[in-house]
Amino acid sequence: MSKTIQQTVQFDVRPEEVYETYLDPERHGEAVGTKVVACPNGSGGYAAFDGALKFRTLHAIPGKLIVQSWRGHFTDADPDSVLVLTLEPTSDGGTRVSMVHANVPEKVFDSISNGWNVHYWQPLTRFFASKA
């Protein structure tokens, strides 16, 4: 059985900055504190956290939307999960990120749900604050 994670966060930078940081492998890695490398299988995807996470961008609209397939601590039988990040400008010049992470295997749901906060939202908040 799979589950869906829904979270919303806000950053004090423009949507374009969030978009560019998230999709650029070097900046992505710097922001979340891990090396991001191209997957060797020619899929066009990337791996992070020593290969524990693999992701590939399926669709993107600059400054507005990122859709990716994700795998993290999944078994071979588990299908990829789908990540959708919607970026919206806030009235104070920041960005509201609405995240839907669908098709997450139930056995890793809690770990991945908590991991978003620990490995992404907190580090990104610190990264963007350091650039202000």
CA 13 → CA 2, 29, 126, distances in Å? 33, 18, 12
Say how far apart CA 106 and CA 1 lie, in whole Å: 6
- The per-residue pLDDT for 42 is 66
Q: 113: which 2 tokens?
A: 């749900």
Maximum alpha-carbon separation in the chain:
45
- C-beta of residue 13 within 8 angstroms of C-beta of residue 125: no
Say how far apart CA 43 and CA 80 lie, in whole Å: 13
pLDDT of 132 strictly over 80? no
Q: What is the 3-state secondary structure (H, E, C) of 47-102?
A: EECCCCEEEEEEEEECCCEEEEEEEECCCCCCCCEEEEEEEEECCCCCEEEEEEEE
- The per-residue pLDDT for 82 is 98
Q: Which domains does the chain have, with CATH numbers?
A: 2-130 (3.30.530.20)
Q: 58: which 2 tokens?
A: 């399926």
69-125 tens-digit pLDDT: 999 889 999 999 999 999 999 999 999 999 999 999 999 999 999 999 999 999 999
